[in-house]
Structure 1
């Protein structure tokens, strides 16, 4: 199915989504979010989804339950420490009110993404199917709806149309991505599903090409349109407007009495001094296409931009003629409590947090992502590497290869107009065997070449890239090796050496994926931190070193830290938060780790200051021992105060490691201490940060028991905080033992969120864990367990 590039304002979409009976214009989408029933199992046949239910026995089919879309049927089990996540079929059903305002118009369903294999039924008629969980696709249900509404069976549904959808994420080696990938292969309608009304003739797709010349002072825009015209209408009037970022029309075209079949050049014009799309000022133009046929009018709009980029051979990256260091990260489609089913608000918050951290580049790993993400990258000024999910496992047969080529084609065509996109990724870790009995490098090379040729035929301008498949590095335009200095390989102090060695092997080098895992709230004191700590202390040291080195590598195109946010994975059950890849700089619920602020101190211009250790409420050591205080800031000077006493002013120098010279050795009082940092900007204004530390000098002995406290919150929840202590009740600050929470009674644990504070089994961070409980107005008993220690029972 061809992708419909129909852009609408979200305010309009929300208004019409509230009442599906309201006739909507062609350029609007009705989000089908409400009124769904779901069952996580298979059905015997489609009749089970639509057969009559006795009115006097509404519990006849109690296994169906209400859900809203987007919905992922692995929302919690993907991080449940006690089960393998579900991989199998699930069914959704609802009833649609169809009122197409266009005579002889079309009724479409637009899936923005559903995993992983999807079948669509109108009543008992199968109207469409799709394989692939990450590209968007459409189903025309016009004829099936008409047939059903004209049947005797329609009376039972009172004029509504039964819609049933089967999603299936069953393991399948002949489908990409591989199930040995380091992320969950989710199931469900986990992106928005839209109902779209179309007139007899509409725009099916817009392809917009832009170019710059004359030292980027002259621009050319050419827009081609493909029409959706099943009625074979032979006459239409088309008007095209090109609007600048302020909405002013800067060019237009009028096509009278054209035949709206196939692909047509709608406008081809030049613009003087076009406003350039840039990471700091992402200027977006709009192409608006108005189609008139037999008194019916439809409008399609598409954002685009003018920009020029270059990967200098054996050199840096340039955007619009100047060197730009790509400061990047990665995104998985994953969030606490919903898994892949992130709402638009959640996506926009996440992308905004990235930009606030200073990101100007992102790799969307390891699959095509929501149009919302690409729109946000366009509007925020974040350059994009987007890739298909050919990830690990080798290469399969004809069905496997066809899916990969189809998804590559869809990705390029669907996201072609986004100025943010500069790279089409063809694969990830394709040197990883396991899915098939044989693993032939020659087969992988051959297929990689085929994909590379396909990508360039679809889009001659953008670059192709892969990460970690050394024997294919010569095929693509841009290559990223696996380095991971200080985590999977060697010492982070050797980062530049490793990078230079990799840079020398290829024409265009880009370093994506670096970093390390950290367990929130875990810090080290009095010893040199190591990667085995999984501490925020070690990760801060690693990130700080990388960032200060990257500033002094003039040949470097850029890097992308892996990843922005912790995400779930089936291959890491023994992590401190089970089944979570904890390399993010924020937790799975957007809670910032300390690392977030280190990036800000190097990458942002808005004045900021952050004392390292906000999530370390207790520090420890000998009485009178000096403790290092690190401050991260992008301001030129910082003054530190301990308990109101100045510890002096430090000048920021990014070459002065660690913390760019913003560090102090201070003596903390036993007990409570208040720390304040005042950062002075170039114009003498001040930004501040403060925190409190409890300094503990008492030494602990052997882990002996679990001590707990409870605290009620205004939202009605109760937080249970647990400490691992010795026999005298002293907190064992080096404890990393696992603690489990169980509950009986009326309440429920807030768990399976994939975060340190919302998991029923979690490893201690400096001897402490916590969880929240919803009492639900009743009585409950919470058991706190840890192997080898007495179980504690908490009455709520």
Structure 2
């Protein structure tokens, strides 16, 4: 091992000069613009759609990522049914024509798909490359043998078959819904996902960084090879370097180079300081630079303790997590980095420090964001194994594909510092089948061979030792879904084992709807296996913490236990956001979930502030509900608060008394006969005011108030602005029952891509530019154009003055 430390300006210049030299050795470009798309009708013959000479001039032109299902009409008659979001599937074809320079002749050219849902098949210039059934997996094809160079065009064709439904328990989306990349390299190159970096030993003054790099020789002759890897600090300074001995690679041989370096005075990746290092791996042959490959990683250590829970960098940390599905609300499953970043920002403001990618591999950018923002990630591979959950799910492809899919999943994600738990399955049916023993051992062995550094778990809704997955002895963490009533007995049932609550709560909420009395819990449905016939008109659920599923629990009951016991390392709430599909407890016309702490449009529900008061350092005083009721109606007024001893409530300046939370209580409540006017709450500590909240009885709708999540967005054709429209009275008070139809229009080089309002029963297409307010709010999503300047979004509603907001694009 050679160890070199560079701390001078020379090291920065070295990086700069090397980067200039490397511009042509590895070229990775986003391959998402100007695709042609055709969605088949039921009678269409697509047998020749892969042919290069096909006339596709009448096909639709679009940019990727793309989800055709979200463009459809909601209907309970779609084969996916309401559980799958009540939107259509089908078969779609994508084609892209492109040129390659003569200078690329003799190089390797790969196409990388981050995810295609589902059953994708790919052709290049009429040559079949292969099929990948799993809709969430990333994969690569080698285009090199079939390419044209110079003036002759290349035609890439992709068939996506999401016609056999139901194949998912939630909304999947359809199409090439994640990014695509074209990678050009020399025939001596670092393999796809070809590095693995670990930090086996960390002290205050040094960290040992172990680096594995797998190099491929696709020349038709032996090649001498040297691998040099530099470690670059978060500040951009080279802090360590390793150089391999020369090795000869035979034709079509791949070799893994392994070495370790010491990084002085490491800056640790942590939740509040997510510092990222970069390893730059350069492949040399006979003095020529053949390839360079950059790997982001973090220096951190963590472990789970059977008695004390989770530790990160030597200190105990309670995992305060949420489960997130892959859809982005009104945008469907078409991945957008800003939309995902917004979701994570909203979660982080609540105090969330962990994300579970339920129940499948996420888009790669999700983990990049978690790395840079500071989240712990439970990275999940499968929702089912060999035994099906729905008729056409992944179990049909399990035998042929699960090993390769799992290997690809681990190799893709194993360098992300945010990933600290591998989940190999969720609520797997083999929990009750003896085949689960060997399957668990098989999957765990695959994971450990590729990454022995992280614990392995499964989300188990059978929490007893009868569970065959647990019986396998192959799990490092016992993951329990729900069953909070048995958590305190975990050390007795599983002595010496480590606990994680992989899925909790399944509480149900409609933003802005309140069922009283609030201290009476509604369990909807009454049983999971019995059709639900109760509920509310309009398919609503109460936004107090007083409505849950029979397998779930209230937010207060769950957190009370997790907070109290150290051995309960943490929890992942089902869910952070509402998502399309699974509209428990209802069926049609509901088409999206009620589980989220935030609705589908991104508007927080009241329970969001419960966790913010417990998990966040921000001062919280959240008082609800609104103050528009029938005269004399008894209304339960709740307050979530922190950093205070008590809260005093006033109605029209008359005190209704001060209240304080007792041990293991998370809110205070007053039962108040409604009188129009003003509710005012004041929180105090040691007699000093900490926070104040005022709620007025609102009058009739008079205005539309527009607010944008950011004043400036990037003019890159991808960035998004999320604009909230709030209906207010003449004094600016939000009108809680307003349902005005709001019509959006836009002046400028941008586009309205979707609207939403968070109503689980709204059947208006997300593509519509008009939307009814739901409990006084709705949302417009604006996509930036590619020209700098400003655009003006307008909102109009009958009887109300037009409102505008300006969005700058730079």
What TM-score comes out, normalization by structure 2 length? Answer: 0.73
Structure 1 position 208, deviation (Å): 0.8
Structure 1 residue matching 2:398: 3-state secondary structure? helix
Q: Distance in 1 between matches of 2:420 and 2:164?
A: 32
Partner of 2:160: 167
Structure 1 residues 48, 360: closer, same or farther in 2, change over 3 A?
Answer: closer
Structure 1 residue matching 2:429: 3-state secondary structure? coil
* Of 577-586 and 179-188, the range deviating more from structure 2: 179-188
Q: Distance in 2 between matches of 1:83 and 1:769?
A: 31
Q: Distance in 2 between matches of 1:191 and 1:70?
A: 5
Partner of 1:67: 62
Structure 1 position 100, deviation (Å): 7.3
Are 1:121 and 2:114 an aligned pair?
Answer: no
Structure 1 position 71, deviation (Å): 0.8
Q: Distance in 2 between matches of 1:773 and 1:288?
A: 42
Structure 2 residue matching 1:513: 3-state secondary structure? strand
* Of 523-532 and 333-342, the range deviating more from structure 2: 523-532
Partner of 1:221: 209
Structure 1 position 223, deviation (Å): 0.7
Structure 1 position 572, deviation (Å): 5.7
| Aligned with 1:590 (options 599, 602, 606) | 602
Partner of 1:29: 28
Structure 1 residues 732, 140: closer, same or farther in 2, change over 3 A?
Answer: closer
Structure 1 residues 602, 169: closer, same or farther in 2, change over 3 A?
Answer: same
Structure 1 position 122, deviation (Å): 1.9
Does the 8 A contact of 1:578 with 1:754 survive in 2? Answer: no
1:373-393 deviation digits (Å, cap 9, x = unpaired): 111222222112112124277
Does the 8 A contact of 1:236 with 1:259 survive in 2? Answer: yes
1:456-491 deviation digits (Å, cap 9, x = unpaired): 22222211111224332233222223325xxxxxxx
| Aligned with 2:379 (options 386, 390, 415) | 386
Structure 1 residues 536, 562: closer, same or farther in 2, change over 3 A?
Answer: same
Partner of 2:293: 300
Partner of 2:544: 537
Does the 8 A contact of 1:326 with 1:559 survive in 2? Answer: yes
Structure 1 residues 666, 101: closer, same or farther in 2, change over 3 A?
Answer: farther
Partner of 1:16: none
Structure 1 position 191, deviation (Å): 0.5
Are 1:622 and 2:632 an aligned pair?
Answer: yes
Q: Distance in 2 between matches of 1:482 and 1:655?
A: 26
Matches for 1:294-373 after TM superposition, within 5 Å: 295-296=288-289, 298-373=291-366
| Aligned with 2:237 (options 241, 248, 252) | 248
| Aligned with 1:447 (options 439, 448, 452) | 439
Structure 1 residues 692, 549: closer, same or farther in 2, change over 3 A?
Answer: farther
Structure 2 residue matching 1:224: 3-state secondary structure? strand
| Aligned with 1:471 (options 454, 468, 472) | 468
Structure 1 residues 595, 192: closer, same or farther in 2, change over 3 A?
Answer: same
Structure 1 residues 531, 47: closer, same or farther in 2, change over 3 A?
Answer: closer
Partner of 2:269: 277
Partner of 1:511: 501
Structure 2 residue matching 1:473: 3-state secondary structure? helix
Structure 2 unaligned regions, length at least 5: 1-21, 80-86, 389-393, 525-534, 536-540, 548-552, 708-722, 728-734, 744-751, 767-771, 782-792, 799-810
1:82-122 deviation digits (Å, cap 9, x = unpaired): 53443442101121232376562222211111122211122
Are 1:98 and 2:90 an aligned pair?
Answer: no
Does the 8 A contact of 1:81 with 1:573 survive in 2? Answer: no
Q: Distance in 1 between matches of 2:598 and 2:123?
A: 40
* Of 469-478 and 358-367, the range deviating more from structure 2: 469-478
Partner of 1:212: 201
Does the 8 A contact of 2:202 with 2:300 survive in 1? Answer: no
Structure 1 residues 402, 477: closer, same or farther in 2, change over 3 A?
Answer: farther
Structure 1 residues 202, 682: closer, same or farther in 2, change over 3 A?
Answer: farther
Structure 1 residues 770, 590: closer, same or farther in 2, change over 3 A?
Answer: closer
Are 1:579 and 2:585 an aligned pair?
Answer: no
Partner of 1:635: 643
Partner of 1:498: 486
Q: Distance in 2 between matches of 1:363 and 1:411?
A: 15
1:112-144 deviation digits (Å, cap 9, x = unpaired): 111222111223222343232222111121221
Q: Distance in 1 between matches of 2:489 and 2:312?
A: 25
Structure 1 residues 104, 681: closer, same or farther in 2, change over 3 A?
Answer: farther
Partner of 1:286: 278
Structure 1 residues 582, 381: closer, same or farther in 2, change over 3 A?
Answer: same
Structure 1 position 31, deviation (Å): 1.7
Does the 8 A contact of 2:321 with 2:353 survive in 1? Answer: yes
1:175-226 deviation digits (Å, cap 9, x = unpaired): xxxx565323432111001122223322221111211256x76521111111
Are 1:759 and 2:776 an aligned pair?
Answer: no
Question: Alignment length, in residue pairs?
Answer: 675
Q: Distance in 2 between matches of 1:638 and 1:669?
A: 24
Structure 1 residues 37, 337: closer, same or farther in 2, change over 3 A?
Answer: farther
Structure 1 position 583, deviation (Å): 0.3
Structure 1 residues 732, 74: closer, same or farther in 2, change over 3 A?
Answer: closer
Structure 1 position 455, deviation (Å): 1.9
Structure 1 residues 633, 538: closer, same or farther in 2, change over 3 A?
Answer: closer
Q: Distance in 2 between matches of 1:394 and 1:248?
A: 51
Are 1:547 and 2:554 an aligned pair?
Answer: no
Structure 1 residues 681, 364: closer, same or farther in 2, change over 3 A?
Answer: farther
Partner of 2:513: 522
1:606-663 deviation digits (Å, cap 9, x = unpaired): 33332233xx46334626x5x443222332256556467374896865726241x4x4
Partner of 1:141: 143
Structure 2 residue matching 1:135: 3-state secondary structure? coil
Partner of 1:489: none
Structure 1 residues 539, 353: closer, same or farther in 2, change over 3 A?
Answer: farther
Partner of 2:189: 202
Structure 1 residues 768, 676: closer, same or farther in 2, change over 3 A?
Answer: closer
Structure 1 position 562, deviation (Å): 0.6
Structure 1 position 319, deviation (Å): 2.2
Matches for 1:659-670 after TM superposition, within 5 Å: 659=667, 661=668, 663-664=669-670, 668-670=674-676
Structure 1 unaligned regions, length at least 5: 1-22, 151-157, 173-178, 434-439, 485-494, 696-707, 722-730, 734-738, 782-796
Structure 1 position 423, deviation (Å): 1.7
Structure 1 position 441, deviation (Å): 1.0
Structure 1 residue matching 2:568: 3-state secondary structure? coil
Structure 1 position 558, deviation (Å): 0.8
Structure 1 position 559, deviation (Å): 0.8
* Of 238-247 and 76-85, the range deviating more from structure 2: 76-85
Are 1:456 and 2:448 an aligned pair?
Answer: yes
Does the 8 A contact of 1:638 with 1:677 survive in 2? Answer: no
1:259-287 deviation digits (Å, cap 9, x = unpaired): 46523335412335433222232232221
Structure 1 residues 692, 543: closer, same or farther in 2, change over 3 A?
Answer: farther
Q: Distance in 1 between matches of 2:763 and 2:361?
A: 29
Structure 1 residues 681, 416: closer, same or farther in 2, change over 3 A?
Answer: farther
* Of 596-605 and 293-302, the range deviating more from structure 2: 293-302
Q: Distance in 2 between matches of 1:406 and 1:230?
A: 22
Structure 1 residues 633, 579: closer, same or farther in 2, change over 3 A?
Answer: same
Q: Distance in 2 between matches of 1:646 and 1:102?
A: 79
What TM-score comes out, normalization by structure 1 length? Answer: 0.74
Partner of 1:691: 695
Q: Distance in 2 between matches of 1:576 and 1:693?
A: 34
Matches for 1:396-411 after TM superposition, within 5 Å: 399-411=397-409
Does the 8 A contact of 1:181 with 1:392 survive in 2? Answer: no
